[in-house]
Amino acid sequence: MTATHDKRLFTFRIPAVQKSIERLSNRRSHEQLPGYLALLHLGIAQGSVDVDAAAIHTFRCKFLMVKGAPAANPFIQPFRSRGKGVKLTNKNTAGSYAEKSIREGQALSNVLEMVPSTQTGSNVAYRFKEDHAEAVLSAMLGGTPILAASLAVFLFRDRALRIDPNEPSQIIDIVRDWLNIGPNILGGDEVFSTLFVDDSDEFSVDDFELYEGESEYFE
């Protein structure tokens, strides 16, 4: 990151966000993919935390909720295994990621298992199965990797980033760190190379806007 921009915050312009959503929605992916991304972000792969569906719901509220959307369907969903385009979905996080949704034959059953826990409200916690990234690629992505930069622009559409807008490839570093799959994290390179493709060349300096707020609000 250059010295010129190392203390400046930028947000994504609306056309960049629209482009990212279109690019994501044009690729088939399972509707429960956001839950997997949430668990990567929370550190499940490192075994550092016990979480259940409540944590995934919090993630959905922070990163998928759309202001002005109907109360019954407040979440935007560019991840679809059927149909085309973007849709809005309901609040039923618990049902979507409950133990019955991880039963044999379901997509999540190839990726996750549930274990007893005293640290969650439901008394169970998620654990990734061995080779979870390969399972996600097959069961949830149909063998087609996720567009990493488009995912970052979509997820961080309401947040300011410390980034040099002349170097859009820095988006990849940011999203990798956020998902706990950075190059300095054990297994990070393997998960990234299995599940993601770098599409940062689809974005340019024109996709960024200087954030005029007084403090950083990236979480």
Task: Please check whether residue 100 lies inside any domain of the structure.
Answer: yes
Q: Map tokens 């922070």 to a residue.
A: 62
* CA–CA dist 11, 8 (Å, integer): 10
The number of domains in the chain is 2
Type of residue found at 2: T
Can you give the residue range of the structural domain that contains 100? 29-143
Average pLDDT over residues 132-148: 96
Q: Which of 84, 108, 143 marks a domain boundary?
A: 143
**143-159 pLDDT, tens digit each:** 999 999 999 999 999 99
| Residue 200 φ/ψ, nearest 5 degrees | -65, -20
| Same domain for 131 and 36 | yes
Task: Please check whether residue 219 lies inside any domain of the structure.
Answer: no
| Residue 27 φ/ψ, nearest 5 degrees | -115, 135
Q: What pTM did the predictor assign?
A: 0.90
Q: With bands split at pLDDT 50, 70 and 90, how would you rate the model's confidence at 29?
A: very high
Task: Please check whether residue 97 lies inside any domain of the structure.
Answer: yes
DSSP 129: P
| Same domain for 61 and 15 | no
Cα angle value 173/178/184 (rounded, 5°): 60
With H, G, I as helix, E, B as strand and everything else as coil, classify residue 188: helix
